Amino acid sequence: MRLVLLGAPGGGKGTQAAQLKDELNVPHISTGDLLRGAVQAGTPLGLKAKAVMEAGDLVSDDLVLGILEDRLAEDDASNGFILDGFPRNLVQCEMLDGLLTRIEQPIDVAVNIVVPEEVIVERIASRAQQEGRADDNEETVRNRLKVYREQTAPVVDYYGERDLVHTVDGLGTIDEVFDRIMGALKG
């Protein structure tokens, strides 16, 4: 299965993907994780991305498409994948469609996990204490939410127009949300 997980920052995409990958037996591909890895490793890409991520803005489309393309070329992605954090604007939607058409692996379904902003802010604040992610401070979170509203929310409509989106309530326990997503995928 080729699945795109949509939803605001802190909405639970990474958390759900960690369980879905075992259930669906496909890799979890998070562009945020790939970029954080590049920052950590100090690669040229990481050096370019670091300040942009710390500000909560989007890294350039070409850079992100490049790492995604490399990741999709690995063997484990040949039977499907869960995309988390990509596409994040309408240009990336078009780029992804172009790439997946070329490799004859179109998206099957998108799941939009919906969580109110006040809950997101609480969840990210508690992760900030546990993990210390560089972009989990209050100011950057505010900008990440703004970027989401302005640039990423239209991605939901992009897949909606193609009849590919299931909307799932992201409130409740991790297992409850997981069951809702599996219900949507089976239904």
If one asks whether residue 85 binds ligand AP5 (CB under 6 A), the answer comes out as yes
Known catalytic membership, residue 36: no
Q: Residues for the chain: how many in total?
A: 187
Q: Which stretch binds ligand AP5 (CB under 6 A): 24-32, 97-105, 160-168, 179-187?
A: 24-32
If one asks whether residue 26 binds ligand AP5 (CB under 6 A), the answer comes out as no
Three-class SS string for the chain?
Answer: CEEEEECCCCCCHHHHHHHHHHHHCCCEEEHHHHHHHHHHHCCHHHHHHHHHHHHCCCCCHHHHHHHHHHHHCCHHHCCCEEEECCCCCHHHHHHHHHHHHHCCCCCCEEEEEECCHHHHHHHHHHHHHHHCCCCCCHHHHHHHHHHHHHHHHHHHHHHHHCCCEEEEECCCCHHHHHHHHHHHHHC
Residues found near Mg ion in the complex (CB under 5 A): 14
**Phi, psi angle pair for 167, to nearest 5°:** -100, 130
Known catalytic membership, residue 21: no
58 binds, options Mg ion, ligand AP5, none, Cβ within 5 to 8 A by partner type = ligand AP5
Task: Catalytic residue, from 50, 123, 144, 180: name it.
Answer: 144
Known catalytic membership, residue 144: yes
Contact with ligand AP5 (CB under 6 A): which of 4, 26, 38, 58? 58
If one asks whether residue 51 binds ligand AP5 (CB under 6 A), the answer comes out as no
Q: Which stretch binds ligand AP5 (CB under 6 A): 13-21, 69-77, 104-112, 157-165?
A: 13-21
> What angle, rounded to 10 degrees, do the helices at 138-147 and 44-55 form?
100
Known catalytic membership, residue 123: no
Known catalytic membership, residue 149: no
**Which strands, in side-by-side order, build the sheet including 165-169?**
28-30, 81-84, 2-6, 109-114, 165-169
Which of 86, 159 has the CB closer to Mg ion? 86
27 binds, options ligand AP5, Mg ion, none, Cβ within 5 to 8 A by partner type = none
Would you tell me which residues interact with ligand AP5 (CB under 6 A)? 7, 9-15, 30-32, 35, 52-53, 56-59, 64, 85-86, 88, 92, 123, 127, 135, 144, 173-174, 177
Catalytic residues: 13, 88, 127, 133, 144
